[in-house]
Amino acid sequence: MQRKSFDEMPCPIARSLERVGEWWSILILRDAFRGLTRFEEFQKNLGIAPNMLTRRLSSLVEAGMLERRRYNDRPPRYEYVLTERGRDFRSVLGTLMAFGNRHFAPEGASIMIVDAVTGEPAEPVLVDRRSGRPLVEPDFVLAPGPAANAATVEQLANRKADMAPPARTKDSDA
Amino acid sequence: MQRKSFDEMPCPIARSLERVGEWWSILILRDAFRGLTRFEEFQKNLGIAPNMLTRRLSSLVEAGMLERRRYNDRPPRYEYVLTERGRDFRSVLGTLMAFGNRHFAPEGASIMIVDAVTGEPAEPVLVDRRSGRPLVEPDFVLAPGPAANAATVEQLANRKADMAPPARTKDSDA
DNA sequence: GTGAGTCAGTAGCATGATGAAACTTACTAT
DNA sequence: ATAGTAAGTTTCATCATGCTACTGACTCAC
Protein backbone atom coordinates (compact mmCIF):
# COMPACT_ATOMS: atom_id res chain seq x y z
CA MET A 1 0.00 0.00 0.00
CA GLN A 2 1.21 3.37 -0.86
CA ARG A 3 1.49 5.80 1.97
CA LYS A 4 -1.64 7.86 2.09
CA SER A 5 -1.26 11.38 0.81
CA PHE A 6 -2.08 14.34 3.03
CA ASP A 7 -2.03 16.70 0.11
CA GLU A 8 -5.76 16.77 -0.53
CA MET A 9 -6.48 17.80 3.00
CA PRO A 10 -7.22 21.50 3.37
CA CYS A 11 -5.09 21.72 6.50
CA PRO A 12 -1.78 23.61 6.39
CA ILE A 13 -0.26 21.18 8.88
CA ALA A 14 -1.15 18.21 6.70
CA ARG A 15 0.17 19.97 3.62
CA SER A 16 3.45 20.72 5.33
CA LEU A 17 3.82 17.18 6.55
CA GLU A 18 3.27 15.93 3.05
CA ARG A 19 6.51 17.75 2.14
CA VAL A 20 8.68 17.31 5.19
CA GLY A 21 6.94 14.63 7.22
CA GLU A 22 8.88 11.66 6.02
CA TRP A 23 11.49 9.92 8.08
CA TRP A 24 14.80 11.87 7.90
CA SER A 25 13.48 14.93 6.08
CA ILE A 26 13.36 17.22 9.08
CA LEU A 27 16.76 16.10 10.30
CA ILE A 28 18.19 16.89 6.88
CA LEU A 29 16.72 20.37 7.11
CA ARG A 30 18.13 20.73 10.60
CA ASP A 31 21.56 19.90 9.29
CA ALA A 32 21.13 22.29 6.42
CA PHE A 33 20.50 25.01 8.99
CA ARG A 34 23.68 24.03 10.74
CA GLY A 35 25.51 24.71 7.52
CA LEU A 36 25.84 21.33 5.87
CA THR A 37 25.41 21.40 2.12
CA ARG A 38 27.08 18.37 0.63
CA PHE A 39 25.85 14.86 0.13
CA GLU A 40 28.73 13.38 2.00
CA GLU A 41 28.37 15.77 4.91
CA PHE A 42 24.73 14.85 5.43
CA GLN A 43 25.50 11.21 5.03
CA LYS A 44 28.28 11.17 7.62
CA ASN A 45 26.50 13.37 10.11
CA LEU A 46 23.19 11.53 10.01
CA GLY A 47 24.36 7.98 9.46
CA ILE A 48 21.74 7.66 6.76
CA ALA A 49 22.07 5.21 3.90
CA PRO A 50 23.03 6.95 0.68
CA ASN A 51 20.00 5.77 -1.24
CA MET A 52 17.69 7.18 1.40
CA LEU A 53 19.59 10.43 1.36
CA THR A 54 19.22 10.66 -2.40
CA ARG A 55 15.45 10.19 -2.14
CA ARG A 56 14.98 12.64 0.69
CA LEU A 57 17.14 15.32 -0.89
CA SER A 58 15.23 14.95 -4.15
CA SER A 59 11.88 15.29 -2.44
CA LEU A 60 13.03 18.32 -0.48
CA VAL A 61 14.25 19.90 -3.69
CA GLU A 62 10.93 19.10 -5.31
CA ALA A 63 9.11 20.65 -2.37
CA GLY A 64 11.12 23.83 -2.88
CA MET A 65 12.88 23.58 0.46
CA LEU A 66 16.35 22.98 -0.93
CA GLU A 67 18.08 23.98 -4.10
CA ARG A 68 20.47 21.58 -5.79
CA ARG A 69 23.28 23.41 -7.39
CA ARG A 70 26.42 22.47 -9.13
CA TYR A 71 29.46 23.91 -7.48
CA ASN A 72 31.99 22.13 -9.64
CA ASP A 73 31.87 21.22 -13.29
CA ARG A 74 34.57 18.67 -13.83
CA PRO A 75 33.79 16.41 -12.08
CA PRO A 76 30.15 17.41 -11.60
CA ARG A 77 29.60 18.11 -7.93
CA TYR A 78 26.41 19.30 -6.31
CA GLU A 79 25.48 20.94 -3.07
CA TYR A 80 22.12 21.45 -1.42
CA VAL A 81 21.31 24.83 0.02
CA LEU A 82 18.21 26.11 1.73
CA THR A 83 15.84 28.14 -0.39
CA GLU A 84 13.89 31.05 1.02
CA ARG A 85 11.10 28.62 1.80
CA GLY A 86 13.54 26.29 3.47
CA ARG A 87 14.88 29.08 5.63
CA ASP A 88 11.34 29.95 6.62
CA PHE A 89 11.15 26.52 8.21
CA ARG A 90 13.42 27.81 10.96
CA SER A 91 10.62 28.61 13.37
CA VAL A 92 9.28 25.08 13.20
CA LEU A 93 12.71 23.69 14.01
CA GLY A 94 13.02 26.22 16.80
CA THR A 95 9.82 25.18 18.52
CA LEU A 96 10.61 21.52 18.00
CA MET A 97 14.02 22.00 19.54
CA ALA A 98 12.58 23.84 22.52
CA PHE A 99 9.94 21.14 22.95
CA GLY A 100 12.55 18.40 22.81
CA ASN A 101 14.76 20.16 25.30
CA ARG A 102 11.88 20.53 27.72
CA HIS A 103 10.67 16.95 27.53
CA PHE A 104 13.26 14.58 26.15
CA ALA A 105 16.58 15.84 27.45
CA PRO A 106 16.85 14.49 30.99
CA GLU A 107 20.60 15.09 30.99
CA GLY A 108 20.05 18.72 30.08
CA ALA A 109 20.07 20.51 26.77
CA SER A 110 22.79 19.55 24.33
CA ILE A 111 22.00 22.35 21.94
CA MET A 112 20.08 25.55 22.34
CA ILE A 113 19.40 28.96 20.90
CA VAL A 114 21.36 31.72 22.61
CA ASP A 115 21.78 35.44 22.34
CA ALA A 116 24.61 36.00 19.90
CA VAL A 117 26.13 38.76 22.01
CA THR A 118 25.58 37.77 25.61
CA GLY A 119 25.39 34.01 25.13
CA GLU A 120 22.27 33.99 27.29
CA PRO A 121 19.94 31.06 26.40
CA ALA A 122 16.75 32.14 24.70
CA GLU A 123 13.35 30.88 25.76
CA PRO A 124 11.36 30.45 22.56
CA VAL A 125 7.69 31.32 22.71
CA LEU A 126 5.19 31.82 19.96
CA VAL A 127 3.57 35.24 19.90
CA ASP A 128 1.47 37.38 17.64
CA ARG A 129 3.86 39.59 15.71
CA ARG A 130 1.78 42.71 15.94
CA SER A 131 0.56 42.68 19.50
CA GLY A 132 3.41 40.61 20.92
CA ARG A 133 0.93 38.62 22.99
CA PRO A 134 1.66 34.92 23.42
CA LEU A 135 -0.57 32.66 21.33
CA VAL A 136 -2.14 30.79 24.19
CA GLU A 137 -5.48 29.38 24.94
CA PRO A 138 -8.11 31.83 26.01
CA ASP A 139 -6.72 34.82 24.10
CA PHE A 140 -6.34 33.15 20.74
CA VAL A 141 -8.38 30.43 19.09
CA LEU A 142 -8.51 28.54 15.84
CA ALA A 143 -10.87 29.89 13.22
CA PRO A 144 -11.75 29.05 9.63
CA GLY A 145 -9.80 31.11 7.10
CA PRO A 146 -11.05 32.63 3.86
CA ALA A 147 -10.54 29.37 1.95
CA ALA A 148 -12.14 27.09 4.53
CA ASN A 149 -14.58 24.47 3.31
CA ALA A 150 -17.85 23.57 4.96
CA ALA A 151 -16.43 20.64 6.88
CA THR A 152 -13.72 22.78 8.46
CA VAL A 153 -16.18 25.49 9.40
CA GLU A 154 -18.50 23.00 11.00
CA GLN A 155 -15.77 21.22 12.87
CA LEU A 156 -14.52 24.45 14.35
CA ALA A 157 -18.03 25.58 15.21
CA ASN A 158 -18.60 22.36 17.13
CA ARG A 159 -15.96 23.31 19.58
CA LYS A 160 -14.69 26.81 19.73
CA ALA A 161 -12.58 26.14 22.80
CA ASP A 162 -10.14 24.28 20.66
CA MET A 163 -7.34 23.88 23.16
CA ALA A 164 -9.54 23.27 26.14
CA PRO A 165 -8.94 20.17 28.27
CA PRO A 166 -11.81 17.74 28.62
CA ALA A 167 -14.83 20.01 28.79
CA ARG A 168 -16.72 17.38 26.88
CA THR A 169 -20.35 17.97 26.05
CA LYS A 170 -21.07 15.59 23.24
CA ASP A 171 -21.70 12.67 25.56
CA SER A 172 -24.83 14.24 26.88
CA ASP A 173 -26.35 15.63 23.74
CA ALA A 174 -25.48 12.66 21.53
CA MET B 1 15.01 -3.30 7.95
CA GLN B 2 13.70 -1.70 11.01
CA ARG B 3 13.29 2.01 10.86
CA LYS B 4 16.39 3.59 12.27
CA SER B 5 15.96 5.06 15.72
CA PHE B 6 16.75 8.70 16.38
CA ASP B 7 16.67 8.19 20.10
CA GLU B 8 20.40 7.84 20.62
CA MET B 9 21.07 11.14 18.97
CA PRO B 10 21.76 13.95 21.44
CA CYS B 11 19.59 16.35 19.44
CA PRO B 12 16.26 17.50 20.88
CA ILE B 13 14.75 17.62 17.39
CA ALA B 14 15.70 14.04 16.72
CA ARG B 15 14.39 12.96 20.11
CA SER B 16 11.07 14.66 19.47
CA LEU B 17 10.75 13.13 16.03
CA GLU B 18 11.35 9.72 17.52
CA ARG B 19 8.08 10.25 19.43
CA VAL B 20 5.91 12.15 17.02
CA GLY B 21 7.70 11.82 13.70
CA GLU B 22 5.80 8.88 12.30
CA TRP B 23 3.20 9.16 9.63
CA TRP B 24 -0.13 10.30 11.15
CA SER B 25 1.14 11.07 14.64
CA ILE B 26 1.21 14.83 14.26
CA LEU B 27 -2.20 14.91 12.60
CA ILE B 28 -3.61 12.93 15.48
CA LEU B 29 -2.20 15.49 17.89
CA ARG B 30 -3.64 18.27 15.75
CA ASP B 31 -7.07 16.69 16.02
CA ALA B 32 -6.64 16.22 19.73
CA PHE B 33 -6.08 19.98 19.97
CA ARG B 34 -9.26 20.53 18.03
CA GLY B 35 -11.09 18.62 20.71
CA LEU B 36 -11.33 15.10 19.37
CA THR B 37 -10.87 12.42 21.98
CA ARG B 38 -12.47 9.21 20.78
CA PHE B 39 -11.18 6.46 18.56
CA GLU B 40 -14.03 6.76 16.18
CA GLU B 41 -13.74 10.52 15.94
CA PHE B 42 -10.09 10.33 14.95
CA GLN B 43 -10.81 7.55 12.55
CA LYS B 44 -13.56 9.36 10.72
CA ASN B 45 -11.88 12.71 10.64
CA LEU B 46 -8.53 11.46 9.42
CA GLY B 47 -9.61 8.63 7.18
CA ILE B 48 -6.95 6.47 8.82
CA ALA B 49 -7.21 2.70 8.96
CA PRO B 50 -8.18 1.48 12.41
CA ASN B 51 -5.13 -0.67 12.92
CA MET B 52 -2.86 2.28 12.15
CA LEU B 53 -4.82 4.45 14.53
CA THR B 54 -4.42 1.87 17.27
CA ARG B 55 -0.66 1.81 16.80
CA ARG B 56 -0.27 5.56 16.65
CA LEU B 57 -2.47 6.18 19.67
CA SER B 58 -0.51 3.61 21.65
CA SER B 59 2.81 5.15 20.75
CA LEU B 60 1.58 8.63 21.61
CA VAL B 61 0.36 7.34 24.95
CA GLU B 62 3.72 5.67 25.49
CA ALA B 63 5.48 8.91 24.63
CA GLY B 64 3.41 10.67 27.27
CA MET B 65 1.63 12.92 24.80
CA LEU B 66 -1.83 11.42 25.28
CA GLU B 67 -3.56 9.76 28.17
CA ARG B 68 -5.88 6.85 27.56
CA ARG B 69 -8.70 6.89 29.99
CA ARG B 70 -11.83 4.92 30.49
CA TYR B 71 -14.90 7.05 30.31
CA ASN B 72 -17.41 4.24 30.45
CA ASP B 73 -17.28 0.95 32.31
CA ARG B 74 -19.91 -1.23 30.73
CA PRO B 75 -19.06 -1.53 27.93
CA PRO B 76 -15.45 -0.42 28.43
CA ARG B 77 -14.92 2.72 26.40
CA TYR B 78 -11.76 4.78 26.20
CA GLU B 79 -10.89 8.26 25.17
CA TYR B 80 -7.56 9.91 24.47
CA VAL B 81 -6.83 13.29 25.94
CA LEU B 82 -3.76 15.47 25.74
CA THR B 83 -1.41 15.35 28.69
CA GLU B 84 0.49 18.41 29.85
CA ARG B 85 3.31 17.36 27.58
CA GLY B 86 0.90 16.95 24.73
CA ARG B 87 -0.52 20.41 25.28
CA ASP B 88 3.00 21.79 25.27
CA PHE B 89 3.26 20.61 21.66
CA ARG B 90 0.94 23.45 20.73
CA SER B 91 3.70 25.82 19.69
CA VAL B 92 5.10 23.29 17.24
CA LEU B 93 1.69 22.88 15.63
CA GLY B 94 1.32 26.64 15.57
CA THR B 95 4.53 27.24 13.66
CA LEU B 96 3.80 24.35 11.34
CA MET B 97 0.37 25.74 10.61
CA ALA B 98 1.76 29.19 9.93
CA PHE B 99 4.42 27.72 7.69
CA GLY B 100 1.89 25.69 5.74
CA ASN B 101 -0.37 28.67 5.31
CA ARG B 102 2.47 30.74 3.95
CA HIS B 103 3.74 28.17 1.48
CA PHE B 104 1.21 25.49 0.68
CA ALA B 105 -2.15 27.25 0.69
CA PRO B 106 -2.41 28.93 -2.73
CA GLU B 107 -6.17 29.25 -2.32
CA GLY B 108 -5.64 31.08 0.95
CA ALA B 109 -5.70 29.88 4.53
CA SER B 110 -8.39 27.41 5.47
CA ILE B 111 -7.64 27.58 9.15
CA MET B 112 -5.79 30.12 11.23
CA ILE B 113 -5.15 31.42 14.69
CA VAL B 114 -7.19 34.50 15.52
CA ASP B 115 -7.68 36.85 18.42
CA ALA B 116 -10.52 35.40 20.47
CA VAL B 117 -12.11 38.78 21.01
CA THR B 118 -11.56 40.75 17.84
CA GLY B 119 -11.28 37.82 15.43
CA GLU B 120 -8.18 39.44 13.94
CA PRO B 121 -5.80 36.85 12.44
CA ALA B 122 -2.61 36.40 14.41
CA GLU B 123 0.79 36.36 12.79
CA PRO B 124 2.80 33.77 14.68
CA VAL B 125 6.47 34.53 15.24
CA LEU B 126 8.99 32.91 17.50
CA VAL B 127 10.57 35.25 20.02
CA ASP B 128 12.64 35.10 23.16
CA ARG B 129 10.22 35.17 26.05
CA ARG B 130 12.23 37.53 28.18
CA SER B 131 13.43 40.11 25.73
CA GLY B 132 10.61 39.66 23.24
CA ARG B 133 13.10 39.84 20.39
CA PRO B 134 12.45 37.59 17.39
CA LEU B 135 14.73 34.56 17.21
CA VAL B 136 16.33 35.38 13.89
CA GLU B 137 19.68 35.02 12.42
CA PRO B 138 22.23 37.55 13.48
CA ASP B 139 20.81 38.17 16.96
CA PHE B 140 20.48 34.58 18.04
CA VAL B 141 22.60 31.55 17.21
CA LEU B 142 22.78 27.89 18.06
CA ALA B 143 25.15 26.96 20.85
CA PRO B 144 26.08 23.78 22.72
CA GLY B 145 24.12 23.32 25.93
CA PRO B 146 25.37 22.01 29.26
CA ALA B 147 24.93 18.38 28.19
CA ALA B 148 26.55 18.73 24.78
CA ASN B 149 29.02 16.10 23.73
CA ALA B 150 32.32 16.74 21.98
CA ALA B 151 30.93 16.13 18.52
CA THR B 152 28.17 18.67 18.97
CA VAL B 153 30.56 21.26 20.32
CA GLU B 154 32.93 20.76 17.43
CA GLN B 155 30.21 20.86 14.84
CA LEU B 156 28.88 24.11 16.16
CA ALA B 157 32.35 25.60 16.46
CA ASN B 158 32.99 24.76 12.81
CA ARG B 159 30.31 27.14 11.78
CA LYS B 160 28.97 29.63 14.18
CA ALA B 161 26.89 31.34 11.51
CA ASP B 162 24.46 28.48 11.61
CA MET B 163 21.74 29.95 9.47
CA ALA B 164 24.03 31.69 7.02
CA PRO B 165 23.62 31.01 3.32
CA PRO B 166 26.57 29.57 1.47
CA ALA B 167 29.54 31.32 3.01
CA ARG B 168 31.53 28.15 2.56
CA THR B 169 35.12 28.01 3.67
CA LYS B 170 35.92 24.34 3.88
CA ASP B 171 36.67 24.05 0.15
CA SER B 172 39.77 26.14 0.45
CA ASP B 173 41.29 24.81 3.64
CA ALA B 174 40.48 21.16 3.02
C1' DG C 1 -35.52 -11.40 23.10
C1' DT C 2 -34.10 -10.58 18.41
C1' DG C 3 -31.94 -7.43 15.27
C1' DA C 4 -29.63 -3.15 14.31
C1' DG C 5 -26.38 0.05 15.79
C1' DT C 6 -22.24 1.91 18.31
C1' DC C 7 -17.59 1.93 19.89
C1' DA C 8 -13.06 0.31 20.21
C1' DG C 9 -10.55 -2.19 18.54
C1' DT C 10 -7.91 -7.21 15.93
C1' DA C 11 -6.58 -10.19 12.08
C1' DG C 12 -4.92 -11.13 7.53
C1' DC C 13 -2.70 -9.88 3.72
C1' DA C 14 -0.81 -6.95 -0.39
C1' DT C 15 2.27 -3.45 -1.43
C1' DG C 16 5.57 0.02 -0.94
C1' DA C 17 8.98 2.46 2.04
C1' DT C 18 13.20 1.83 4.48
C1' DG C 19 17.82 0.21 4.98
C1' DA C 20 22.58 -2.25 4.45
C1' DA C 21 26.03 -3.29 1.47
C1' DA C 22 28.08 -3.36 -2.73
C1' DC C 23 28.89 -1.13 -6.88
C1' DT C 24 29.45 2.94 -10.39
C1' DT C 25 31.05 7.16 -12.54
C1' DA C 26 34.05 10.71 -13.04
C1' DC C 27 37.36 12.74 -11.80
C1' DT C 28 42.13 14.37 -8.67
C1' DA C 29 46.40 13.55 -6.32
C1' DT C 30 50.82 11.09 -5.80
C1' DA D 1 48.77 3.21 -12.28
C1' DT D 2 47.03 3.16 -7.86
C1' DA D 3 44.50 5.22 -4.25
C1' DG D 4 41.22 8.41 -2.83
C1' DT D 5 37.05 11.51 -3.08
C1' DA D 6 32.34 12.97 -4.12
C1' DA D 7 27.94 11.91 -5.40
C1' DG D 8 25.43 8.99 -6.17
C1' DT D 9 22.73 3.97 -8.20
C1' DT D 10 21.49 -0.95 -7.80
C1' DT D 11 19.97 -4.94 -5.53
C1' DC D 12 17.51 -7.13 -2.37
C1' DA D 13 15.66 -8.21 2.47
C1' DT D 14 12.45 -6.75 5.82
C1' DC D 15 9.48 -3.67 8.04
C1' DA D 16 5.69 -0.33 8.04
C1' DT D 17 1.49 1.17 5.98
C1' DG D 18 -3.08 0.53 4.46
C1' DC D 19 -7.48 -1.84 3.01
C1' DT D 20 -11.05 -4.94 4.16
C1' DA D 21 -13.23 -7.86 7.00
C1' DC D 22 -14.17 -9.31 11.42
C1' DT D 23 -14.82 -9.44 16.77
C1' DG D 24 -16.52 -8.38 21.52
C1' DA D 25 -19.29 -6.04 24.57
C1' DC D 26 -22.62 -3.72 25.15
C1' DT D 27 -27.44 -0.42 24.25
C1' DC D 28 -31.64 0.59 22.28
C1' DA D 29 -35.91 -0.04 19.34
C1' DC D 30 -39.55 -2.96 18.51
Question: A78 pLDDT exceeds 50?
Answer: yes
Q: Is the CB of B4 under 7 A from strand C?
A: yes
N-terminal to C-terminal alpha carbon distance within chain A: 36
Please count the residue pairs, one from chain A and one from chain B, whose beta carbons lie less than 8 angstroms apart.
324
**Cis ω on the peptide bond leading into residue A134 (within 30° of 0)?**
no
Size of chain A, expressed as the number of residues it contains: 174
- Sign of the four-CA dihedral B46, B47, B52, B54: positive
* Chain B nearest C-alpha distance from A91 (Å): 6
Domain ranges for chain B: 12-87, 89-124, 131-162
D23 C1' to B129 CA distance, Å: 52
Closest residue (Cα, C1') to D9: A51
Q: Is the CB of B7 under 7 A from strand C?
A: no
A-chain residues near B140 (CB < 8 A): 113-116, 122
Contact A95 B97 (CB under 8 A): no
From the alpha carbon of A3, which nucleotide's C1' atom is closest? Answer: D17
C28 C1' to A75 CA distance, Å: 9
* Chain B nearest C-alpha distance from A104 (Å): 6
Mean predicted confidence (pLDDT) in A36-61: 92
* Chain B nearest C-alpha distance from A25 (Å): 10
Give the Cα-Cα-Cα angle B46, A125, A22 (nearest 5 degrees).
35
Contact B37, B81 (CB under 8 A): yes
pLDDT (tens digit per residue) in B75-108: 888 999 999 999 999 999 999 999 999 999 998 8
| Nearest residue to A93 via CA among B101, B148, B96 | B96
Question: B174 pLDDT exceeds 50?
Answer: no
CB closer than 7 A to strand D: which residues? A 1-4, 38-41, 50-51, 54, 57, 68, 75, 77-79; B 1-3, 22-24, 47-52, 55, 74-76, 174
Contact A95 B98 (CB under 8 A): no
D14 C1' to A3 CA distance, Å: 17
Q: Rounded to 5 degrees, what are φ and ψ at B37?
A: -135, -25
Pick the CATH number of A12-87 from 1.20.120.160, 1.10.10.10, 1.25.40.10, 3.40.50.2300: 1.10.10.10
Query: What is the DSSP annotation of B58-87?
Result: HHHHHTTSEEEEEEETTTTEEEEEE-HHHH
Angstrom distance (rounded) from CA A23 to CA A17: 11
pLDDT (tens digit per residue) in B39-78: 999 999 999 999 999 999 999 999 999 999 988 887 888 9
* Minimum mean pLDDT range among A41-55, A91-105, B153-167: B153-167
Question: What letter would DSSP give residue A24?
Answer: T
Per-residue pLDDT band for B134 (boundaries 50, 70, 90) equals very high
Question: What letter would DSSP give residue A134?
Answer: B
The residues facing B111 across adjacent strands are: A144
In chain B, which residue's Cα lies nearest the Cα of A116? B140
| Nearest residue to B113 via CA among B90, B131, B136 | B90
Question: A8 pLDDT exceeds 90?
Answer: no
Compare CB distances from A109 to B17, B135, B147 and report the shortest one's residue.
B147
pLDDT (tens digit per residue) in A147-160: 888 888 888 877 63
